[in-house]
């Protein structure tokens, strides 16, 4: 209780007061000055009845008091207050889908703060919204308080989560050129399948629909459908409120091809013919915006190589509806003289600025190129370090200066993976791996892997610096230790230690070169067989190899001219330059793949070959080639030269191998949300050639093997399951074929 004022009270009129004393009662935490500031009344000054009522309203709406009574009694104003209690504990009950930590981040009510029922109701609404974003549209939340001593309460949010609202059906209207099955594979939203309890992508999220509309538009645009539109998306909720039916109403239009491709310019220093020579678009190819963007980038890069500044390339498109072609004239002009004043980066608490800056090919003081800034933004997003990355340009200190603002939100970049595998060759295995893709905020990759199976244990380490010496060169170190015990039907154990540092860099738009040196130590031990060849190899003991090598890879499967076709070419060679073994080992691979029949069926052809040439002795079984996992329908180490002198026919491998694989993958008519597809394949291959054939007793000649088979592939929640049913058409008497194979690999 407090008495304020010493002047004699004097009532002016029936609706006007002059309070000499303001008596405040009931306040414990809130001091009198705060109460008076909310009330807005001053002792000794005239106050109307309206002002007294307004004082009561302001105190009530302050959120500090459970009840407020303002009572004028002559020259005394009595303010009686009951304060809201203090929150002792904020608790959540009934929540299984969302944990307490997540819900605590959603609500505003916190312990040791004043309880306010309006705030609690708003918090309940936020919790309901969090459940809606998780697909629980029927969730309800009730805030309740439990009174404690000393004017304290426990605030408890009682939650009824309700059932998950799934997408029961996704259908399309207006699609003529692509089936619903094909279009559903494009969407991030999925129909609920038989394992809907474990699948999150079949949960209905309204925010995901906008993303689906965009990916549909990108899908059609990359196939020449420049007029494609999503007219509407209808979502109908079932009466039981546990499922939605989505209907995409689309207008496809016609697919356009490239027509005449030209380059024009008013600049005297630009020769259009020189620029046309670097264009890879040809008339008759399906139109896609990506090819246009790549061409613009290529032309602007050429202008920089010629020493031209502020060059802009703009495509002028002429539409020919009669023959469904688009003529494109790439206009090379000089843009405004605008420079990059600076690049400001915000939001990167962990990631160093230099990791983000090196995604820009533009630095402070360079000519401003909007297209390059957009490309840098895409490179920043593709790092995978940030949940959101916005790159915008604004005017700088002068009209010819631009400031580039980069605002990022970091996300976790580390992962711990537990996995399990099974195959007929290596049995049941477990794998544990830890990976950090942004080690110490430097953009480096650091990973450890432990893989164990009944007959094979491997421990691996990998480190990658993607910008070695601040260049576009990746420096990596790979190290591993492997042990096998009677693996792949062998009668010996092996140990292998490997250490390989390498440098990798791009040599073209779709090609990359890697240079490496390496050390490898291998040993054969505990041999229990009687092969003279293997006995001699075991007697050599531990063998150390030092080598240098390279790998060249060309891969346009994602960036080629045809979005449904691609090629992979790879050439690798290692040269033994020291240690116990001098050798040359070469390998080559070529793969082509394409989708046909409205992209419903995938076909692929794969060719591999390898050659090992030991210069200072004979090759060993741990160095030679086997066709394990390269040709189906045979047991591990089931193909190739064998020692006939022993009953077990010990597999010896070969110095040369060649394999050709042909496969087609197609739907089986089952709902695609089940993730089950079928395939037919044919494998052809051979492994041959030995340095030591035991005086001609071992047949190490070329013998072709061929296998046909049917595959059943199930992309299950447990991991990809593959069932191969095979039949060997060509094989040798000593080969060991297998008509059924089953593999599974999963992470959790």
Task: Give the pLDDT confidence of 411-448 residue by residue, as tens digits.
Answer: 988 887 776 655 555 556 677 888 899 999 999 999 99
Percent of the chain scoring above 70 in pLDDT: 91
Task: Give the per-residue pLDDT at 4.
Answer: 42
Kindly state whether residue 416 falls inside one of the protein's structural domains.
Answer: no
Give whole-number Cα distances, 283 to 253, 262, 278, 286, in Å: 20, 11, 15, 9
The pLDDT tens digits for 563-575 are 678 899 999 999 9
Task: Give the per-residue pLDDT at 1.
Answer: 42
Together in a domain, 120 and 170: no
Task: Give the per-residue pLDDT at 51.
Answer: 85
186, 211 contact by CB (below 8 A): no
> Can you tell me the mean pLDDT for 495-522?
94
**What burial letters (b/e) apply to 222-253, b meaning 16+ CB within 10 Å?**
bbbbbebbbeebeeeeeeeebbbbbebebebe
Q: What is the DSSP string of 239-291?
A: TTSSEEEEEEEEE---B-EEEEEEEEES-TT--HHHHHTT----TTSBP-HHH
Single out the residue in 51, 83, 115 at which a domain terminates: 83
* CATH of residue 121: 3.10.20.310
> Can you tell me the mean pLDDT for 531-556?
92
Together in a domain, 569 and 708: yes
Burial category of 600 from C-beta neighbours within 10 Å (exposed 0-12, middle 13-18, buried 19 and up) = middle
Task: Give the per-residue pLDDT at 193.
Answer: 62
Question: Please, which pLDDT band fits residue 6 given cuts at 50, 70 and 90?
Answer: very low
The pLDDT tens digits for 73-122 are 878 888 888 888 888 899 999 888 888 888 988 899 888 888 888 889 99
**What burial letters (b/e) apply to 111-129, b meaning 16+ CB within 10 Å?**
eeebbbeebbeebbeebbe
Residue position matching structure tokens 């399309």: 172
The pLDDT tens digits for 230-274 are 999 988 877 666 678 889 999 999 999 999 999 999 999 999 999
Task: Give the per-residue pLDDT at 730.
Answer: 94
Kindly state whether residue 101 falls inside one of the protein's structural domains.
Answer: yes
Task: Give the per-residue pLDDT at 61.
Answer: 81
Radius of gyration of the chain (CA): 36
Write out the two tokens for 66: 């459970």
Residue 296, pLDDT > 70, answer yes
Task: Give the per-residue pLDDT at 428.
Answer: 67
327, 260 contact by CB (below 8 A): yes
Q: CA angle 633-639-644, nearest 5°?
A: 135
519, 544 contact by CB (below 8 A): yes
Task: Give the per-residue pLDDT at 711.
Answer: 93
Residue 406, pLDDT > 70, answer yes
Pairing of strands 427-439, 414-423: antiparallel
Together in a domain, 110 and 219: no
Single out the residue in 199, 218, 251 at which a domain terminates: 251
Task: Give the per-residue pLDDT at 426.
Answer: 55
Task: Give the per-residue pLDDT at 199.
Answer: 47
Task: Give the per-residue pLDDT at 131.
Answer: 83
The pLDDT tens digits for 693-736 are 888 889 999 999 999 999 998 877 666 788 999 999 999 988 88
723, 743 contact by CB (below 8 A): no
Together in a domain, 90 and 184: no
Residue 489, pLDDT > 70, answer no
Q: What is the DSSP string of 104-164?
A: HHH----TTSB--HHHHHHHHHHHHHHHHHTT-TT-EEEEEEEEETTTEEEEEEEEE----
Question: Please, which pLDDT band fits residue 621 given cuts at 50, 70 and 90?
Answer: very high
Kindly state whether residue 466 falls inside one of the protein's structural domains.
Answer: no
Kindly state whether residue 442 falls inside one of the protein's structural domains.
Answer: no
The pLDDT tens digits for 299-358 are 998 998 898 888 999 999 999 999 999 999 999 999 889 999 999 999 999 999 999 999
Together in a domain, 79 and 110: no
642, 629 contact by CB (below 8 A): no
Residue position matching structure tokens 């246009």: 292
Together in a domain, 239 and 202: yes
Together in a domain, 596 and 696: yes
The pLDDT tens digits for 353-375 are 999 999 998 889 889 988 889 88
The pLDDT tens digits for 571-611 are 999 999 888 999 999 999 999 999 888 888 999 999 999 99
Residue ranges of the alpha helices (H) in 166-250?
A: 180-186, 206-221
Q: Give the domain extent around 214.
A: 166-251
Together in a domain, 306 and 360: no
Together in a domain, 282 and 322: yes
The overall average pLDDT reported for the chain is 87
Together in a domain, 64 and 142: no
Distance, CA of 43 to CA of 3 (rounded, Å): 10
Together in a domain, 118 and 133: yes
Kindly state whether residue 456 falls inside one of the protein's structural domains.
Answer: no
Pairing of strands 46-48, 16-18: antiparallel
Together in a domain, 71 and 95: no
The pLDDT tens digits for 154-208 are 999 999 887 767 788 899 999 999 988 889 888 888 877 655 444 455 676 777 8
Task: Give the per-residue pLDDT at 618.
Answer: 92
Kindly state whether residue 10 falls inside one of the protein's structural domains.
Answer: no
The pLDDT tens digits for 118-136 are 889 999 999 988 887 776 7
Kindly state whether residue 418 falls inside one of the protein's structural domains.
Answer: no
192, 167 contact by CB (below 8 A): yes
Task: Give the per-residue pLDDT at 97.
Answer: 81
Distance, CA of 269 to CA of 310 (rounded, Å): 13
Distance, CA of 396 to CA of 81 (rounded, Å): 56
Residue position matching structure tokens 């005297």: 268
> Can you tell me the mean pLDDT for 688-692?
94
Distance, CA of 417 to CA of 447 (rounded, Å): 11
Residue 508, pLDDT > 60, answer yes
Distance, CA of 94 to CA of 720 (rounded, Å): 34
Q: Count how many domains the chain has.
A: 6
When comparing pLDDT for 577 and 680, which is higher? Answer: 680
* CATH of residue 662: 2.40.160.50
Q: CA angle 43-48-53, nearest 5°?
A: 95
Distance, CA of 517 to CA of 735 (rounded, Å): 36
Single out the residue in 292, 313, 334 at which a domain terminates: 334
> What's phi and psi for 636, nearest 5 deg?
-60, 135
Give whole-number Cα distances, 418 to 328, 451, 717, in Å: 52, 10, 15
The pLDDT tens digits for 448-468 are 998 887 677 889 999 999 999
Kindly state whether residue 666 falls inside one of the protein's structural domains.
Answer: yes
523, 542 contact by CB (below 8 A): yes
Task: Give the per-residue pLDDT at 433.
Answer: 85
């Amino acid at each position: 209780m407090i008495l304020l004022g010493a002047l004699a009270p004097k009532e002016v009129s029936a609706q006007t007061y002059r309070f000499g004393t303001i008596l405040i009662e009931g306040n414990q935490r809130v001091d009198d000055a705060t109460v008076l500031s909310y009330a807005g009344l001053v002792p000794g000054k005239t106050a109307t009845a309206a002002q007294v009522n307004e004082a009561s309203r302001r105190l009530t709406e302050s959120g500090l008091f459970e009840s407020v009574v303002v009572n004028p009694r002559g020259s005394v104003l009595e303010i009686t207050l009951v304060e809201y209690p203090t929150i002792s504990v904020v608790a959540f009950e009934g929540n299984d889908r969302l944990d307490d930590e997540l819900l605590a981040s959603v609500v505003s009510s916190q312990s040791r703060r004043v309880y306010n029922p309006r705030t609690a109701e708003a918090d309940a609404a936020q919790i309901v919204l969090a459940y809606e974003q998780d697909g629980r549209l029927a969730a309800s939340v009730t805030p309740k308080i439990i009174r404690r001593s000393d004017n304290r309460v426990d605030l408890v949010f009682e939650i009824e989560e309700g059932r998950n609202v799934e997408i029961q059906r996704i259908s399309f209207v207006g699609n003529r050129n692509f089936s619903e099955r094909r279009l559903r594979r494009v969407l991030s939203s999925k129909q609920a399948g038989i394992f809907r309890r474990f699948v999150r992508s079949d949960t209905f999220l309204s925010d995901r629909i906008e993303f689906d509309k965009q990916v549909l538009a990108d899908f059609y645009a990359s196939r020449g459908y420049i007029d494609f539109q999503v007219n509407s998306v209808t979502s109908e909720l079932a009466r039981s409120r546990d499922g939605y039916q989505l209907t995409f109403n689309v207008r496809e239009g016609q697919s356009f091809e490239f027509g005449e491709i030209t380059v024009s310019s008013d600049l005297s220093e630009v020769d259009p013919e020189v620029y046309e020579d670097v264009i890879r678009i040809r008339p008759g190819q399906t139109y896609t915006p990506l090819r246009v963007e790549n061409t613009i980038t290529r032309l602007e890069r050429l202008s920089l190589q010629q020493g031209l500044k502020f060059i802009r390339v703009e495509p002028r498109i002429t539409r020919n509806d009669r023959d469904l072609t688009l003529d494109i004239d790439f206009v090379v002009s000089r843009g405004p003289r605008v420079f990059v004043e600076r690049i400001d980066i915000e939001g990167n608490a962990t990631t160093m600025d230099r990791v983000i800056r090196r995604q820009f090919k533009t630095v402070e003081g360079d000519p401003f190129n909007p297209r390059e800034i957009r490309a840098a933004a895409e490179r920043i997003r593709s790092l995978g370090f940030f949940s959101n990355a916005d790159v915008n340009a604004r005017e700088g200190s002068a009209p010819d200066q631009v400031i580039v603002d980069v605002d990022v939100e970091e996300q976790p970049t580390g992962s711990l993976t537990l996995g399990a595998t099974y195959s007929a060759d290596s049995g049941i295995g477990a794998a544990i791996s830890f990976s950090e893709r942004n080690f110490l905020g430097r953009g480096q990759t650091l990973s450890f892997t432990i893989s164990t199976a009944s007959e094979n244990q491997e421990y691996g380490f990998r480190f990658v610096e993607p910008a070695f010496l601040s260049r576009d060169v990746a420096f990596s170190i790979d190290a591993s230790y492997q042990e096998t015990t009677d693996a792949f039907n062998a009668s010996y154990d092996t140990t292998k230690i490997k250490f390989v540092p390498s440098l990798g860099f791009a040599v073209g738009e779709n090609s990359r070169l890697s240079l490496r040196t390496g050390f490898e130590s291998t040993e054969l031990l505990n041999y229990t067989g009687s092969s003279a060849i293997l006995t001699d190899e075991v007697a050599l003991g531990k063998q150390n190899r030092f080598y240098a090598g390279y790998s060249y890879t060309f891969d346009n499967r994602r960036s080629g001219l045809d979005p449904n076709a691609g090629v992979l070419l790879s050439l690798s060679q290692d040269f033994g330059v020291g240690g116990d073994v001098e050798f040359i080992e070469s390998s080559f691979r070529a793969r082509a793949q394409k989708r046909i029949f409205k992209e419903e069926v995938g076909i692929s052809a794969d060719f591999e070959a390898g050659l090992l040439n030991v210069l200072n002795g004979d090759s060993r079984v741990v160095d030679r080639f086997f066709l394990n996992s390269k040709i189906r329908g045979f047991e591990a180490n089931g193909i190739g030269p064998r020692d006939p002198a022993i009953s077990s026919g010990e597999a010896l491998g070969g110095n040369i191998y060649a394999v050709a694989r042909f496969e087609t993958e197609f739907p089986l008519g089952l709902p695609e949300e089940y993730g089950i597809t079928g395939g037919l394949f044919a494998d052809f291959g051979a492994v041959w050639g030995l340095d030591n054939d035991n005086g001609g007793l071992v047949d190490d000649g070329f013998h072709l093997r061929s296998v046909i088979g049917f595959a059943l592939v199930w992309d299950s929640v447990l991991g990809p399951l593959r069932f191969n049913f095979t039949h060997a058409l060509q094989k040798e008497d000593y080969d060991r074929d297998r008509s059924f194979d089953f593999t599974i690999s999963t992470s959790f």
